[in-house]
């Protein structure tokens, strides 16, 4: 896989976790630095390890400062020309979901990661992933209907 594509996936994952472009860029760069420091060449990247490093760095950041609640003046999502009402509703509904549910939906649908990669990154079985994913989808659907 191309390093540029991996960078985009990690950045997108981090951005949706921290909702801050500058911080997402910093965490993404730190993820790559730590990966290269531990595993060497970035040419043969194991994306599951990258997600694990990024996840831990995001957790460290949340411990350092409390995340702000979703505001009406949200900044633009990377690659979008603006935020529509539908996208805003989805973002608000996602914010109401538990952290684990958001993470699974983000990896599966935003970054389009295969189930095997997600299972290895989160340390769960395929059955557990399937069950958690369906549960998260149901919660999101209920939030959007409300």
Q: What totals of helices (H) and strands (E) does the chain contain, helices first?
A: 7, 0
Return averaged pLDDT per consecutive 10 residues of the chain, 146 residues in all: 83 89 93 86 75 90 63 48 72 86 88 88 90 92 86
Domain with CATH 1.10.1740 in the chain: 1-67
Per-residue pLDDT at 78: 52
Q: Which of 82, 72, 77 is CA-nearest to residue 24? A: 77
Q: Which of 3, 12, 17, 78 is CA-nearest to residue 47? A: 3
Per-residue pLDDT at 42: 56
Per-residue pLDDT at 82: 55
Per-residue pLDDT at 87: 77
Per-residue pLDDT at 134: 94
Per-residue pLDDT at 67: 45
Q: Which of 87, 89, 128 is CA-nearest to residue 110? A: 87
Domain with CATH 1.20.140.160 in the chain: 82-146
Per-residue pLDDT at 83: 60
Per-residue pLDDT at 43: 59
Q: Which fold, 1-67?
A: Rna Polymerase Sigma Factor; Chain: A (1.10.1740)
Task: Please provide the CATH number assigned to the domain covering 82-146.
Answer: 1.20.140.160
């Amino acid at each position: 896989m191309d390093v540029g594509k991996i960078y985009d996936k990690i950045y997108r994952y981090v951005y949706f976790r921290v909702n801050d472009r500058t911080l997402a860029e910093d965490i993404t760069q730190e993820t790559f630095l730590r990966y290269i420091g531990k595993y060497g060449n970035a040419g043969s990247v194991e994306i599951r390890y990258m997600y694990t490093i990024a996840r831990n760095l995001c957790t460290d950041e949340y411990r350092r400062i409390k995340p702000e609640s979703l505001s009406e003046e949200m900044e633009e999502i990377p690659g979008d020309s603006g935020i529509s009402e539908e996208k805003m509703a989805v973002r608000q509904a996602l914010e109401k979901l538990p952290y684990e549910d958001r993470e699974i939906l983000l990896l599966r649908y935003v970054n389009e990661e295969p189930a095997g990669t997600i299972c290895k990154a989160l340390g769960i079985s395929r059955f557990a992933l399937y069950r958690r994913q369906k549960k998260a989808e149901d919660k999101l659907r209920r939030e959007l209907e409300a």
